[in-house]
Amino acid sequence: MYIEKYAKVIVKNNSIYTDNLFTYKIPEFLLNHVEVGHRVLVPFGKGNKPIEAYVFLITDIVENNIDFKELFDILDEYPIFKVEDIKLIQWMKNRYLCTYMDCISLLHPKGYKVESFKEISLNNDLKELDAKSFYEKIDSLSENRKFILNKIIENKNKIKVDKLIKEKAIDEGINPKDLKLSTTINNLLLKMKEEKLIDIYWNYKSQKNEKKICYVSLNIDKNIIEDYIGYNKIRLGEKQRDIIEFLKYNDDIEINDLIKLLNASKSSISSLHKKNLITLDFKDYYRSPSDFYDEKRKEIILNEEQKTVVDKITSDMFKEHKKPYMIHGVTGSGKTEVYMEIIDYALKQGLDSIFLVPEISLTPQTISRLKNRFGDIVGVFHSKLSEGEKHDVFKAIKKGKIRILIGARSALFAPFNSLGVVIIDEFHESAYKSEKNPKFSAIEVGKYMVLKQNITLILGSATPSVEEYYRAKNNEYELITIKERANKKPLPSIEVVDMKKELTLGNKSIFSYKLQEEIETELSNNNQVILFLNRRGYGNFVSCRKCGFVFSCKNCDISLTYHKNNNSGRCHYCGYEENIPKSCPECGSDYVRPFGIGTEKVEEEIKKLFKNAKVLRMDKDTTSKKGELDKILNKFKNKEANILIGTQMLSKGLDFEDVTLVGILSADMMLNFPDFKSFENTFQLITQVSGRAGRSDKEGKVVLQTYDTDHYVIRRALNYDFEGFYEDEIKIRKIFSYAPFNNMISVVVSGRNQKLVEKNIKNMYNSLIYLLKNRGVDDFDFILGPNPCAISKINQNYRYQLLFKDDNIEINLLKGIIKYICITKKEVVFDKDVNISIDVNPNNIL
């Protein structure tokens, strides 16, 4: 007698109604095989459709008097999740107020698919009849029944129901998607089952998005193969002899290469295989994205500061209960070289590493440097890979072929078995916080992994985020500073230009006289220049100067950005685009003009001023196609251009030895952004972009243009005074109870019907107040709203928001109530035509 065991599983279904554990009995034949983390197939719903599920718990204790369904099968030989993965999923679900499947999708190996389908076959009673009785039985049936039974016979005694419906539709000349036909057939099948004519059952097909390559080699020793052929009197054609002769001198060859080289056919190869003369070996093929950017490896010797950092972190690598590390190193201090030394040490200890970057497409130099040093054990993972490429990366990691993974935030969940180091480079970047469910922070998940798995977590930046630096000051991190550049050169000097004075001097250009002068000097010295403006397009908006009409997006509550190259206004939120007419649609006047500046206009103006300059532009418009960014960077590196214009893409780790001047065209555009982090973001961008100058033996300089020269952010950035900026900013954050002093939760309700959205957010607010009052809370100052969002409409969806700060309320109580209203009781509180987005500590509240 065996002890009954049960598996508690999460079914692969994105509905909130299935977002809990379901219990299934483990059949006796699977008792010793099912483990926590296994992917299994279970019967689900009234029809017992086979559905994919994930085992979270195995137990022998269940509620009495319940007849549990049994698991169908295990889908993989080994569990796809480790026990610590299951714990991470549970932690993320509670932390970010999302579903199990939201979290599972991050860790689930890509390219796995289960297709469930209904099949029908002849009933045993019918199959046992002799031929005469069988056909007499069929002849006595209705035409539709005859059609179904004949189709089963034609398909070797089984046919998919979907295929049957399609063939019936073709037979009757109607649409296969006709709902009435599907209902009629399904009802008839149920009757035929009752009549014991057919059996109906579910079946499934498990697929993995894998690619195999066929290699051809001799099956018999090359020294005796001719004797073997002669002894066995094997007849060979001319091409078959060519193949044998070629393989004598080549151990193996990929089949397609063999066909091309010898102009052979697959039938010749197949014939040799049947004659047992060759072996066909199918090997795993790992798909990987092409690299367009190439950088030569440089031998670099670490300076004393860098060595101190490496020694500190590597000496503590196996220490229990260690803190995460924060490396605060100035731009150009050689943090990447430090990371690579730490990775190298980890490899020698048998440990794998994950290297996170803000946006993988913007860091080709970092990828190239890692691959140059560590070779083929470096893998790349990010959201723009195909499903097949993602699957192959996960498979290569599990087989130990990839030991170092570089990627965006999703790479954090790669299935390493011996993970030792996680590096989060430029950790201040907002890209480390997901905007989609689950809205996780890579830094928070990394810190959880330190706590539970004892990995070494390293955060690095020249401009740490205010929140994390505050935590470092309060001993949550081991704070390490690198104060000097690796080349021992000073940081580029920053000269501030007051654009108000430029106007009084009669200069109405985008470029101050000082910046024009410096560009002229650097170009004449055969150096390179970077110009930064954090807005793409030609103009900020297009307006009629006579009546004030502004061309706006038809789907969003925002003006269109003007793009001169195709005379269009484009929405940078939903992609809507329209041609800009010469006359105003409101008043008919011809005074329609673009206002403001973007990178497209900067490019046009710079070409007018410096006619011999070779100019490149790097923004979302010029880098949207695959490989375009790498081409731009290669051209600039090879000095095919001497001026590079771009948006904040320029701030992300670029390293060009001939760049000696950086021009920041408008600091005010960033300062005046309506967000509580705008001052922090401005300081970070100024510092990071300035750091692109003077990174080799040549000294660099920066010209910073602004209308607000006395702003504390500008004054602090002028001297690279991060500590001073931090002290100023943290005081403001404390006064207004912003992060890191309080948590903030944003709930956005959106939908196409504005009145319905407004009604639903009020329903949510009223439900919150009711539940909070029942918990003894009567001060609701911590709730802001409900109000329309700052951008109240995006892509035809109206947006209303409730903001919560955990002032005078316990955060877990607040999260519990929000989860209860927005997830558990969603169908009671909200209409089905609205969407709810919950974000814990959002990057912005627009």
Q: How many CB atoms lie within 10 A of CB 415?
A: 17
What is the structure's pLDDT at 32? Answer: 86
* pLDDT score, position 593: 76
pLDDT of residue 405: 93
Higher pLDDT, 536 or 600: 600
Share of the chain above pLDDT 70, in %: 96
Query: What pLDDT is recorded for position 54?
Result: 94
DSSP string, 483-545: -S-TT-PPPPEEEEEEHHHHHHTT--SSS-HHHHHHHHHHHHTT-EEEEE-S--SSBSEEEET
CB 427 within 8 A of CB 376: no
pLDDT at 446 over 90: yes
Q: What pLDDT does 706 receive?
A: 87
Closest listed residue to residue 548, CA positions, set 559, 557, 539, 537: 559
Confidence tier at 297 by pLDDT (50, 70, 90): low
Q: Taking residues 819-835, report their average pLDDT.
A: 87
Q: What is the pLDDT of residue 350?
A: 93
- In tens, the pLDDT along 231-280 reads 788 888 888 888 888 888 888 888 888 888 888 888 888 888 888 888 88
Please give the pLDDT value at position 612: 87
Does 386 score more than 50 pLDDT?
A: yes
Count other Cβ atoms within 10 Å, centred on residue 717.
28
Q: Is the model's pLDDT at 172 over the cut of 50?
A: yes
Indicate the Cα dihedral angle 102, 107, 111, 117, nearest 10°.
-50
pLDDT tens for each residue of 701-760: 999 988 888 888 889 988 899 999 999 999 988 888 888 888 888 999 999 999 999 999
DSSP string, 247-298: HHS-S-EEHHHHHHHHT--HHHHHHHHHTTSEEEEEEEE---PPP-------
What was the pLDDT predicted at 287? 64
**Given this model, what pLDDT does residue 65 score?**
72
Inter-residue contact 593 to 542 (CB < 8 Å): yes
Give dist(CA 774, CA 826) in Å, integer: 20
- In this prediction, residue 388 has a pLDDT band, given cuts at 50, 70 and 90, of confident
Q: Model confidence at 621, in pLDDT bands (50, 70, 90)?
A: confident
Q: With residue 717 as reference, give the H or E element that holds it.
A: helix 712-718
Q: Return d(Cα 619, Cα 600) in angstroms, integer.
A: 9
pTM of the model: 0.79
Is 350 buried (19+), middle (13-18) or exposed (0-12) by CB count in 10 A? exposed
Beta-carbon neighbour count of residue 786 at 10 Å?
A: 19
pLDDT at 295: 58
- The C-alpha atoms of residue 804 and residue 160 are separated, in whole angstroms, by 52
Whether the CB-CB separation of 410 and 340 falls below 8 Å is answered with no
Whole-number average pLDDT of the chain: 85
Cα–Cα distance between 238 and 242 in angstroms, integer? 6
pLDDT at 111 over 70: no
Range scoring the smallest mean pLDDT among 141-150, 579-588, 746-755: 579-588
